[in-house]
Structure 1
């Protein structure tokens, strides 16, 4: 597929790590220019049930086809596939990419999306890349959350567009840019994946990584410092992106370096329960304030399960379960009418039959 069909700055061949300074929005704006509504479809047999294409399909004489990689062209001709065509593939043929920009997927978010997909069907195709070494299987380039939700909804197929990118940094950048546009990319995903990129020598320095993604080096440095946190600590913050941005997570990372995992988990709970600001947490880290840990028993019980509660798409609190017999509900920012309505419903649930 012609690189410009996805975003400026992408080069289908070779898979290189040369610096690129375009922002995610710059590259993604290029996508909008190629979305068509003419309803045309390519001739030939696709490797799945064909759906209406989202993009114009180049004809055989189109110079855009000259930019295809040999592997992709051979695959496309074999299956009668037109670039940009939406087809249905078996979910069992889809597998995660080792260059997926996302690392964390919230179970509650996947479950919510699964319900929507079960009711409304899949509205947006995912992007996949053929695994040429294992014919009939595909790597997800963009759409890992939808794939998980479709499986959760017990679906057997997924709508997909098969793209021409190498599995590597280029495919990572496509998924990363799309996630940035949707505000679904978190600093915790970046922390884990960027550290792996450096460990695996895909980039020689954080400066090179920053240049390649069009970011300030300080942004990459903060994410890499957060990557030092244990995953159990990051998991607690991923669920509340409204409270744990890069600055707050950075302060939590500093606290962890001095106090360890258990104390850090207690700090995270205090940040949520007391609605602490980043400045207040920074003061705790510097020793100018106390987390009042001495007032809490060392064996303080940890919740077994936590469910985030949203109203009109906005997080208003959570519901936690402890052991076999304890529930804790915390809500804030409600209107008086909504608060009273919730109270009445809880009272009715607890009334004896």
Structure 2
């Protein structure tokens, strides 16, 4: 495999093995433990950087950090920084990482967080990586949404922990994994970022990208197909993650290829207002249904109450109530005699009412 091409501002490190990646995750977890167990008062770095202090024999604290990268340790010693220490940095010194797995940030979400930060202050420090080629500057590793909200709230500084993480594609993968766990990574983020990775030759093929992320190639192919959509259309779908997963977005992408931007925006509004299912949208895309025709909404009413029914200790079905006027009885595994007996009893009950 050809070596990856790293974005400007990053310095390449040797290919990271799986064991090294595990080490990076361990470092991040160790930093979180340090912050949770001992959260010191924010300390603003000194305006004048102290001279590096070198020891012939490492101190006990330094001896623990045997897995530090050489660049990070040199930076840490030069700045008298202890791992896990929360410091206060100028927001102007923080810049987004070109390997950020997120591309879309909802304006409403940023505005809400900005109001909260203005009232409550920043409760959780962000994670940053030093820009080793540009002294005093940092890349966001985790906390891009908080940085945007702090700027929205007209703040000048941000509380941060400076972390030792691999630079480049590996830092993307770590951030991607964290976002997937938080359920904050969207197919639209993937579409834009993955397309850029391929265009910039970080990966030589779609297959190589899928293997690196541990995903099925078809999953990557669906996301990349969305990268052809204008951002105005993607923004509309990003705002409704409950309605536009990868399958629905794929159908919208197909519709856009045939009908253009304006018609696609109208379809997106229709999907939201009429609660159309992916199958219904697929029928529209295939021309089986005119986009302006009335399509029965695919809503599923949630039952208000459910009672399990047992015969001789064995579950045979349930009785569900919906709203104020609907009952649904479902039974299975009955003998014909038992079924007919139940039917007669129900008929008698209805005749009496």
Q: So what's the TM-score if we normalise by structure 1?
A: 0.69
Supply the distance in 1 between the matched residues of 2:185 and 2:143 (Cα, whole angstroms).
12
CA shift in 2, pair 1:221/1:136, >3 Å: same
Per-residue CA deviations over 1:53-93 (Å, capped at 9, x if unaligned) read: xxxx981222x33x322221111001111122221111111
CA shift in 2, pair 1:132/1:238, >3 Å: same
Paired residues of 1:28 and 1:177 also in contact (CA < 8 A): no
CA shift in 2, pair 1:19/1:59, >3 Å: closer
Residues 38-117 of structure 1 aligned to structure 2 (within 5 Å): 38-39=37-38, 47=45, 59-62=61-64, 64-65=65-66, 67-117=67-117
Q: Tell me the equivalent position of 2:228.
A: 228
Q: Tell me the equivalent position of 2:143.
A: 143
Paired residues of 1:254 and 1:285 also in contact (CA < 8 A): yes
CA shift in 2, pair 1:32/1:247, >3 Å: farther
The CA deviation at 1:290 is 0.9
Q: Tell me the equivalent position of 2:154.
A: 154
Residues 310-349 of structure 1 aligned to structure 2 (within 5 Å): none
The CA deviation at 1:124 is 1.7
Supply the distance in 2 between the matched residues of 1:144 and 1:48 (Cα, whole angstroms).
25
Q: Tell me the equivalent position of 1:16.
A: 15
CA shift in 2, pair 1:143/1:253, >3 Å: same
The CA deviation at 1:281 is 0.3
Where do 5+ consecutive residues of structure 2 fail to align?
A: 1-10, 48-58, 294-322, 324-353
Q: Tell me the equivalent position of 1:35.
A: 33
Supply the distance in 1 between the matched residues of 2:118 and 2:247 (Cα, whole angstroms).
37
Supply the distance in 1 between the matched residues of 2:216 and 2:28 (Cα, whole angstroms).
23
CA shift in 2, pair 1:259/1:164, >3 Å: same
CA shift in 2, pair 1:261/1:19, >3 Å: farther
1:282 and 2:276 equivalent?
Answer: no
Q: So what's the TM-score if we normalise by structure 2?
A: 0.69
Paired residues of 2:40 and 2:86 also in contact (CA < 8 A): no
1:168 and 2:180 equivalent?
Answer: no
Supply the distance in 1 between the matched residues of 2:200 and 2:17 (Cα, whole angstroms).
16
Supply the distance in 2 between the matched residues of 1:240 and 1:247 (Cα, whole angstroms).
14
Q: Tell me the equivalent position of 2:193.
A: 193
Paired residues of 2:39 and 2:85 also in contact (CA < 8 A): no
The CA deviation at 1:167 is 3.4
| Secondary structure, counterpart of 2:33 in structure 1 | coil
| Secondary structure, counterpart of 2:127 in structure 1 | strand
Supply the distance in 1 between the matched residues of 2:15 and 2:27 (Cα, whole angstroms).
22
Pairs aligned (count): 269
Per-residue CA deviations over 1:193-225 (Å, capped at 9, x if unaligned) read: 001101111111222212211222221111011
Is the deviation greater in 203-212 or in 241-250?
203-212
| Secondary structure, counterpart of 1:35 in structure 2 | helix
Supply the distance in 1 between the matched residues of 2:135 and 2:269 (Cα, whole angstroms).
48
CA shift in 2, pair 1:281/1:213, >3 Å: same
Residues 119-138 of structure 1 aligned to structure 2 (within 5 Å): 119-138=119-138
Per-residue CA deviations over 1:291-342 (Å, capped at 9, x if unaligned) read: 128xxxxxxxxxxxxxxxxxxxxxxxxxxxxxxxxxxxxxxxxx9xxxxxxx
The CA deviation at 1:31 is 3.0
The CA deviation at 1:132 is 1.5
Supply the distance in 2 between the matched residues of 1:18 and 1:207 (Cα, whole angstroms).
19
Supply the distance in 1 between the matched residues of 2:30 and 2:134 (Cα, whole angstroms).
32
Supply the distance in 2 between the matched residues of 1:220 and 1:18 (Cα, whole angstroms).
23
Paired residues of 1:270 and 1:276 also in contact (CA < 8 A): yes
Larger Rg: 2
